[in-house]
Amino acid sequence: MDKIYSFRHYEETLYTFWEDNGYFTAKIDPSKKPFCIILPPPNANADLHLGHAMYVYEDVMIRYNKLMGNETLWLVGADHAGIETQFVYEKYLKKQGKSRFDFDRKTLFNNIWEFVMENRGNMENQLRKLGFALDWSKKKFTMDEDIVKTVYLTFKHLYDDGLVYRANRLVNYCTSCGTSFSDLEVVDKEVVGNLYYIQFPIQEGGSVTIATTRPETYLGDVAVMVNPKDKRYQKIIGKTVLLPLINREIPVIADEYVDPKFGTGAVKVTPAHDENDFQVAQKHGLWKDPVIDFNGHMQNTGLDDIDRVYVVKARKLIITKLEEYGFLEKITPHDMVLHTCYRCGTTLEPLPKEQWFINVKPLKKKAIQLVKKDEIRIHPKRFKKQLIAILENFIDWNVSRQIVWGIQIPAYRCEKTNDWFVSVEQPTSCQICGKCKFIQDKDTFDTWFSSAQWPYATLQSCKNPKSEIRNPKSDDKPTPFFDYFYPTSVMETGYDILRAWVSRMIMIGYFETKTVPFQHVFLHGMVRDKKGQKMSKSKGNVINPLDMIKQYGADAVRAALIFGTKEGGDVVLSEDKILAMRNFCNKIWNIGRFIEINQSQSSSHKSQVSIQKTSPKFQNIKNIEKLRKEFAGIEKKYHTHFKNFEFAKAFDLMYEFVWHRFADYYIEELKDSVQSGSIEACQEIFTVFRACLQMLHPYTPFVTEAVWKAFHDKTTSIMQSRFEHTNKTIRS
């Protein structure tokens, strides 16, 4: 072994060795227990960030189960990432002086496809640099033909069961991105805005002052609303007021929804531009077409100089007009929350639009039962209540997106009846009337809809050639990967997408397969800097995992993400911590080098060893027995931590033992015996160290593999070994 461990010399070579020799390739072996994790698919078009580096928890589980002798599958894939990828591509077009409007739908789609395929390899190579034991032979993409067919089938099954419906509802619409978003893709931004007090003339005389944060939408009002218990307004309920500047008549209605303490206690009702107003207007049978279009311009206002003006500019013009004609009473500062687009930051417009929705009521009912009964176990346990609450509060799911890049919804409209039908295959005739033309919905699926099907969609599409079957009793008949590996063993992901993804996978997965999509859910936290702050480019505290790998090695980055971390808690990461883990990797190497040197010396003096072995001077039986006893306890705790999904505790345990007990204490105590050729001391230290390499391998695969090869045939891998030394401990 070299004097110093150089990770640059080993990492790329070792990964290529693993991949070329099929150590990551899963095969169906009924004699073995299957263990399967589906990688949460990263964006095919984006570089990895520290959040993706947290996949290390999955690699830890996969490598541990390999060493346990289980048949493991870590299925890798990439996400087309809908609006995020189109957003990136549009920025690319903007630099070229172009926009999405310069292309027809088909051309734009094909251009984005080529753009993604050109960049997809970057992300995959970055996963390799982190040492992840992914089965590259089965990699999938959310827009693979077989995946798309599965997505279509799921939608058709939901539709046939009456769980998909089309409705004209208010949606969160980004006029910049040109698409609607579900409620979970909305970023709430606290700002200090204004409250505008506007006088509405009462037709019979007098006026009523309403308070609003959005004066430009008053032109789409259908009523003024007050609380029926508010004594100030009892006399005007049922009367008619005139909208300033255009004199359109609207009624004064009463509803307990109104908070008498807000503003003047009188509010306007604009159903086409406010979700709450939409609900109230439906209750009272009122409606008015929107006064803002999908490009963010005013329309149908009754004022020629306001129509076609962008909404922000229109607000200023309307305020000036109201003030000029004496309708503006005052403007006061007001704390408010703006709903903004999570991609571009544009303030979202609530706009009415026909969309496809999923009725989640029966889906979430079953999902809640599965979680409550622990048919899906949540780790750490504290997230169980949170997941149940998320499911209980889940509202009907809008799955329509008005973008090109995505899986087009397989819904078709009959031109004769305007009714819709759903077809998995491209239809050759209208399934409504059988005669007329039909038009496919131009909308694409919400990315979360396809990713909600990821566990079963990927496994259903896995191929199993006869050559991969190792069970002699199979008679060469392929056994589907789905039947062998599904339900998957663990879904590991960040707690921040418990609502966005995990809850949806449970609902959709059970609906389609009639079983749970995974047996366990393990949640990790966010990565923060050493001060506990969220990493962001604006703060200048972002750590690029690939830069750290170049400087300190993949093992150091992996170990730093886990060391000292509370399970499910946020990860505090700094360069100092990565450096400390680099030093630990060097310690592992140095222990191995010490043992190798002394093994070599011992074998060259066999005749002397036999004499020295019998001499009490070179015996330290007490320390050897103490080491055996302490290590047996360490082994037991290690495997218990894994059983309880306490992966950080298992690593911390090994870090403490290897460095401070094994190296600093036992090797020091037994050094003289080892260097003097004591076979018993040498063998015990090597036996314990060999087991430590196996136990550390899931966390630091490169250095442990490199050391392992120094003591074994270089054509073999530590992944071929089993926890042989610990079998008795595991069983006990």
In terms of domains, do 719 and 664 share one?
Answer: yes
For residue 41, what are its two tokens? 């698919």
In terms of domains, do 677 and 628 share one?
Answer: yes
In a domain, 405, yes or no: no
Higher pLDDT, 116 or 342: 116
Question: Any idea what the CATH number is for the domain that residue 668 is in?
Answer: 1.10.730.10
Does residue 412 carry a pLDDT above 90? yes
H-helix or E-strand spanning residue 681: helix 679-696
CA distance 243 to 217: 11
In a domain, 409, yes or no: no
Higher pLDDT, 613 or 377: 377
Does residue 633 carry a pLDDT above 60? yes
**Vertex 376, ends 372 and 382: CA angle to 5°?**
65
- pLDDT score, position 435: 82
- DSSP, collapsed to helix, strand or coil, labels residue 325 as coil
- pLDDT score, position 321: 96
For residue 697, what are its two tokens? 């391998």
Q: Which domain, by its residues, includes 497?
A: 11-24+33-155+446-557
Cis before 380 (ω within 30): yes
Cis before 465 (ω within 30): no
Does residue 725 carry a pLDDT above 80? no
In a domain, 645, yes or no: yes
Tokens 């008015």 locate to 288
- pLDDT score, position 614: 43
In terms of domains, do 592 and 720 share one?
Answer: yes
Closest Cα to residue 440, out of 416, 420, 469? 420
Does residue 536 carry a pLDDT above 70? no
CB neighbour burial string for 13-45, b if at least 16 within 10 angstroms, e if fewer: ebbebbbeeebbebbbbeebebbbbbbbbbbbb
DSSP state at residue 405? S
In a domain, 278, yes or no: yes
Question: Any idea what the CATH number is for the domain that residue 254 is in?
Answer: 3.90.740.10
User: What does each C-alpha distance from 49 to 54, 123, 297, 306 come to in angstroms?
Assistant: 9, 10, 37, 45
For residue 241, what are its two tokens? 């007021």
In terms of domains, do 186 and 316 share one?
Answer: yes
- DSSP, collapsed to helix, strand or coil, labels residue 242 as strand
Cα 522 to its chain centre, rounded Å, is 12
In terms of domains, do 629 and 686 share one?
Answer: yes
- DSSP, collapsed to helix, strand or coil, labels residue 212 as strand
Count of CB atoms situated within 10 Å of the CB of 46: 19
Strand partners, 176: none
Half-sphere exposure of 227 (CA within 13 A, CB side): 14
DSSP state at residue 343? T
Does residue 626 carry a pLDDT above 70? yes
Sign of CA dihedral 687, 688, 690, 691: positive
Helix then strand then coil, % of the chain, to nearest 5: 45, 20, 35
pLDDT band at 727 (very low <50, low <70, confident <90, very high): very low
Closest Cα to residue 52, out of 676, 569, 422, 561? 561
Rg, C-alpha atoms of the chain: 32
Alpha-helix runs per DSSP H in 514-553: 545-552
Instruction: Quick: pLDDT tens for 149-167.
Output: 999 999 999 999 999 999 9
**292-296 — which CB contacts under 8 Å span 24+ positions?**
292/216, 292/217, 292/220, 292/349, 292/351, 294/173, 294/175, 294/178, 294/351, 294/353, 295/175, 296/175, 296/176, 296/349
Listed in sequence order, the residues at least 6 apart from 424 whose beta carbon sits closer than 8 Å to its beta carbon are 149, 152, 153, 156, 410
Instruction: Quick: pLDDT tens for 446-492.
Output: 999 999 999 999 999 886 543 333 333 334 443 488 999 999 999 99
- DSSP, collapsed to helix, strand or coil, labels residue 241 as strand
Does residue 730 carry a pLDDT above 60? no
CA distance 477 to 208: 80
pLDDT, average across residues 117-135: 93
Instruction: Quick: pLDDT tens for 580-606.
Output: 999 999 999 999 999 998 876 655 554
Instruction: Quick: pLDDT tens for 294-308.
Output: 999 999 999 999 999
Least confident of 372-386, 476-490, 662-676, 687-701: 476-490
Could you tell me whether strands 349-358 and 397-398 are parallel, antiparallel, or unpaired per DSSP bridges?
antiparallel
| Domain stops at, among 349, 373, 389 | 349
Instruction: Quick: pLDDT tens for 29-56.
Output: 999 999 999 999 999 888 888 888 999 9
| Helix axes 56-67 and 554-562, enclosed angle (nearest 10) | 100
CB neighbour burial string for 622-650, b if at least 16 within 10 angstroms, e if fewer: ebbeebeebbeebbebbbebbeebbbbbb
Burial of 669 (0-12, 13-18, 19+ CB in 10 A): middle
| Domain stops at, among 349, 379, 405 | 349
Higher pLDDT, 724 or 224: 224
| Domain stops at, among 349, 381, 400 | 349
Give the total number of structural domains in the chain: 3
In a domain, 360, yes or no: no
Mean of pLDDT over the chain: 90
Strands (E), 432-517: 438-440, 444-445, 488-494
Are 578 and 552 within 8 A, CB to CB?
yes
In terms of domains, do 551 and 584 share one?
Answer: no
Count of CB atoms situated within 10 Å of the CB of 546: 17
Could you tell me whether strands 438-440 and 411-414 are parallel, antiparallel, or unpaired per DSSP bridges?
antiparallel
Sign of CA dihedral 681, 687, 688, 693: positive
Does residue 510 carry a pLDDT above 90? yes
In terms of domains, do 306 and 330 share one?
Answer: yes
CA distance 226 to 256: 8
Instruction: Quick: pLDDT tens for 341-383.
Output: 887 889 999 999 999 999 999 999 999 999 999 999 999 999 9
pLDDT band at 538 (very low <50, low <70, confident <90, very high): low
Are 676 and 601 within 8 A, CB to CB?
no
Listed in sequence order, the residues at least 6 apart from 364 whose beta carbon sits closer than 8 Å to its beta carbon are 391, 392, 394, 503, 507
Least confident of 133-147, 445-459, 616-630, 704-718: 616-630
- pLDDT score, position 607: 40
In a domain, 391, yes or no: no
Half-sphere exposure of 443 (CA within 13 A, CB side): 22
Strand partners, 135: 75
Are 126 and 12 within 8 A, CB to CB?
no
User: What does each C-alpha distance from 184 to 359, 409, 532 come to in angstroms?
Assistant: 16, 21, 25
**CA torsion, points 369, 373, 375, 381, in degrees to nearest 10?**
110
In terms of domains, do 553 and 601 share one?
Answer: no
Question: Any idea what the CATH number is for the domain that residue 105 is in?
Answer: 3.40.50.620
Q: What is the pTM of this model?
A: 0.88
Tokens 């500019």 locate to 313
- pLDDT score, position 605: 52
In a domain, 363, yes or no: no
Are 335 and 192 within 8 A, CB to CB?
yes
User: The sheet that has 135-141: what strands, in order across it?
Assistant: 135-141, 71-78, 34-38, 488-494, 518-524, 377-379
For residue 453, what are its two tokens? 């099907």
In terms of domains, do 548 and 595 share one?
Answer: no
Are 39 and 48 within 8 A, CB to CB?
no
CA distance 732 to 716: 30
Closest Cα to residue 251, out of 184, 190, 318, 203? 203
In a domain, 433, yes or no: no
- pLDDT score, position 611: 36
pLDDT, average across residues 536-561: 86
In terms of domains, do 516 and 541 share one?
Answer: yes
- pLDDT score, position 603: 54
CA distance 678 to 681: 5
pLDDT, average across residues 548-574: 94
In terms of domains, do 74 and 190 share one?
Answer: no
In terms of domains, do 541 and 495 share one?
Answer: yes
Listed in sequence order, the residues at least 6 apart from 585 whose beta carbon sits closer than 8 Å to its beta carbon are 5, 7, 553, 555, 556, 559, 700, 703
- pLDDT score, position 729: 46
Are 179 and 401 within 8 A, CB to CB?
yes
Percentage, residues of the chain above pLDDT 90:
79
